[in-house]
Structure 1
Amino acid sequence: MHWVNAVFMLVMITSGWGIYDDDVIIRGFHFSSFWRLGDWAAWSLNWHFAGMWFLVINGLIYLTYGLATGRFREKLLPIRPADLVQTVADTLRFKIAHEDVTVYNAVQKLLYIIVILAGAAQVVTGLAIWKPVQFSGLVSVLGGFQAARVLHFAGMAVIVGFLIVHVALALLVPKTLWAMVAGGPRLAGRGRSQEVHAQEGHVT
């Protein structure tokens, strides 16, 4: 399901760019029609809502599973500053070992935590933008409708940045590409049940 999530995430991002261009936040900044999904705002909104339902439902299942089973704690914690610095240094020298693709390095842990929080924030700010009257209290907490739009735009930028870094790191360690596509690593010498168990340890 990993690649399916990626497809719907791209649907959300590119349709969001189409919505943004109808009422820009940064004066003079627009997205090229080549990158936008939808020729006009209404069409982009339809695409955005289609992708939204899939990602929200899938995200709720993922968060519930991760929290209930302790998977987040096991896979994403702890993050030691020394490990983070060392991993960044190794990455800049293009020396990422990553012998065991089922274990995340410090940078991966931090990036996954950031993108999980960004995804949750996108749901909150998205609700405020989508139904500002019904969620007027939420809009007020966020600082107003326009502030919610700015926060939603910032969250999108964080997620796009994550995707770029995610793919770049995978290209530096080619054996992780299968895990990105399938949602889990293909481990030689293991049975089908063990492969499935290994896949469950891969963050979607």
Structure 2
Amino acid sequence: MAVSASRPAHPWPVRLCHWINVFAMVCMVMSGWGIYNASPLFGFTFPPAATLGGWLGGAIAWHLAVMWLLVANALVYLAWGTGRGHFRRRFFPLSPRAVWQDTRQALAFRLPHRLGQYNAVQKAMYLGVLLLGLLLVLSGLAIWKPVQLSGLVALFGGFGWARYVHFYAMSGIVLFVVIHVLMVLLVPKTLPAMITGGKEPNDE
């Protein structure tokens, strides 16, 4: 009798990229807050304990250094996910109707969760954070090299507007992280699976 081997819920490339991303995003956000504090856009600053770098020069150094790690990690993830069909299997199909139905179930705490399978809300959130990441990179490049990339700066409406876009995109990603952590706390079995790989449930 043939025995079907269960696949890991999260293949090792996904887990590796995930944890590299966790480290990189924490460093990027904290150093970004340090840069923001030097020239606030709004009437508040972030506590020094929540920043990285110690001063403006240090924050910029951290931001630029970790930026390359984040970009390299994203390129590896995108290449692997596209080549292995990961995105096609995990994120699609997706429809507004499915997102609405799953959102209602989630708010009522009736939405089931299966390791290795994303519901419509998760699919929408992951696709959304990928788009926010792209916006963050483009606006960051416009802020970093405003003279060399003047055309990109113009697309954002100017240097000042590029800073606002960068801030709001970062805020969107931070909000995603907060929701993501809350979901892990509500469904704690998902954390070990992101470390060990877990196993996809059999539908037999």
2:201 and 2:162 map into 1 onto residues whose CA distance is: 50
Q: TM-score, length-normalised on structure 1? A: 0.84
Whichever residue aligns with residue 199 of structure 2, its letter is L
2:173 to 159, 175, 196: 159
- Spell out, residue by residue over 1:1-44, the C-alpha distance to the aligned partner (whole angstroms, 9 max, x if none): 22221011100001100000101111x12111121112211111
Correspondence list, 1:29-108, <5 A? 29-98=44-113, 100-108=114-122
What's the CA shift for 1:188?
Answer: 8.5
- The number of residue pairs the alignment matches comes to 186
1:177 and 1:144 map into 2 onto residues whose CA distance is: 42
1:23 to 39, 48, 71: 39
Does the 8 Å contact 1:96/1:172 carry over to 2? Answer: no
Sequence identity percentage: 45
2:162 to 148, 170, 173: 148
Does the 8 Å contact 1:118/1:158 carry over to 2? Answer: yes
1:172 and 1:91 map into 2 onto residues whose CA distance is: 11
1:95 and 1:174 map into 2 onto residues whose CA distance is: 16
Q: Are residues 59 and 188 of structure 1, via their aligned partners in 2, closer, same or farther at CA, if it must alter by over 3 Å? A: closer
1:189 and 1:123 map into 2 onto residues whose CA distance is: 36
What's the CA shift for 1:54?
Answer: 0.4
What's the CA shift for 1:150?
Answer: 0.6
Does the 8 Å contact 2:115/2:201 carry over to 1? Answer: no
Aligned-residue RMSD, C-alpha: 1.9
What's the CA shift for 1:68?
Answer: 3.4
- Spell out, residue by residue over 1:92-125, the C-alpha distance to the aligned partner (whole angstroms, 9 max, x if none): 2223321x21110011100000111111111111
Give the corresponding residue for 1:193. Answer: none
Q: TM-score, length-normalised on structure 2? A: 0.84
Whichever residue aligns with residue 82 of structure 2, its letter is L
